[in-house]
Amino acid sequence: MVKGRWVALGSAMLAAVGLGLPGTASRAEVAMIGALQTYTTTHEDTLLDVARKNDLGFVELVAANPGLDPWVPGEGVTLLLPTAHLLPEVARHGIVVNLTEMRMYYFRTPGEAPETHPVGIGSEGNNTPVSSTHVTHKMANPIWVPPASIRREKPELPAVVPAGPDNPMGLFALYLGFPGGNWRIHGTNEPYAVGRRVTHGCMRLYPEDIEDLFHKVSPGTQVTIIDQPVKVGWVDGELYIEVHPTKRQADELEETHHMTEDMATEALPIAIKAAGDAVARLDEPTVLRAARERRGYPIRITQ
């Protein structure tokens, strides 16, 4: 292993997939994008640093590497990078945000693999809504008018925060059509907030990600917000499962870097349904382990 370098883990984790297998759709589609990789830390690395270098969120990197101190992981530690993603079960149009995963998928071209980025989402009591809407308009160098609810929490805030590097919305924003007009996908002046449950309901991207997305997305683009902690998909004749921490567990990972066990009881029924006529190949102990550990990356569950 090379210090401070990335290593891909095997062609079996690549994205191309042939559906039309037992229990799956008849049309060939992409079911997984990316590939798992490893990264060996340097003395200066924190998991926040490694997450941003690899377009990952903080919580998903901590979940994939239990037992590490995210602030001082140490030199020469091999991290698993959860850079492979099963696609959620949803219509593949426009922008899709999976809240439990804290990840966005942008289906720019029908039938092609999407691009994906981690997102910061609403904290407890400020939940990002599960719903569908569209991009109403977009703005470079947005100003921020803090809602009354936020100014009550932080009375020191000005009535209007001007555009610029100190603006919490960053340098680019996509405005969404939810009632109230306060819901946006935007950048941030605090990149460490990406991939965490820390916002008042908006969705934050790394500055480099929102800038790229801003120039690709047009007003009218559909935005679908879902909440799918368990995803499955067939890849090269093998069935994979991906199980993410609950929101409560994500908060625990933030606070203590550990999470209390919470079995995803829906995982086995979902896997059995996806296996279909190939259910005899299903590795149930591996399914249950994935459901218990919730590491947030694809695991093969067929034999």
pLDDT digits (tens, 9 = 90+) for 211-248: 999 999 999 999 999 999 999 999 999 999 999 999 99
CA distances from 232 to 85, 88, 250 (A): 10, 8, 21
β-strands 184-186, 203-204 pairing: parallel
Q: Is the pTM of this model over 0.95?
A: no
CA distances from 69 to 1, 48, 63, 198, 253 (A): 21, 11, 12, 20, 11
CB 94 within 8 A of CB 221: yes
- Map residue 245 onto helix, strand or coil: coil
Determine how many CB atoms are found less than 10 A away from the CB of residue 116. Answer: 20
Tokens of 57: 């969120």
**Interval 52-78 mean pLDDT:** 95
Q: Would the CA dihedral through 97, 195, 47, 228 be positive or negative?
A: negative
Nearest alpha-carbon partner for 120 in 44, 30, 185: 185
Q: Sketch the domain layout of the chain as residue ranges.
A: 1-89+228-303, 94-226
pLDDT at 29: 76
pLDDT at 5: 45
CATH code, 94-226 = 2.40.440.10
More reliable by pLDDT, 155 or 25: 155
Helix ranges, the chain (H): 47-53, 58-64, 148-153, 207-214, 247-256, 267-275, 284-293
Each residue of 208-221: b (16+ CB within 10 Å) or e?
Answer: ebbebbbeebeeeb
* pLDDT band with cut points at 50, 70 and 90 for residue 158: confident
pLDDT at 127: 74
Q: Catalytic positions, please? A: 186, 202
- Map residue 84 onto helix, strand or coil: strand
pLDDT surpassing 80 at residue 98: yes
Residues near 297 by beta carbon (within 8 Å), at least 6 away in sequence: 36, 64, 80, 82, 84, 242
Give the pLDDT confidence of 109-154 residue by residue, as tens digits.
988 999 999 999 987 666 788 999 999 999 999 988 876 767 677 7
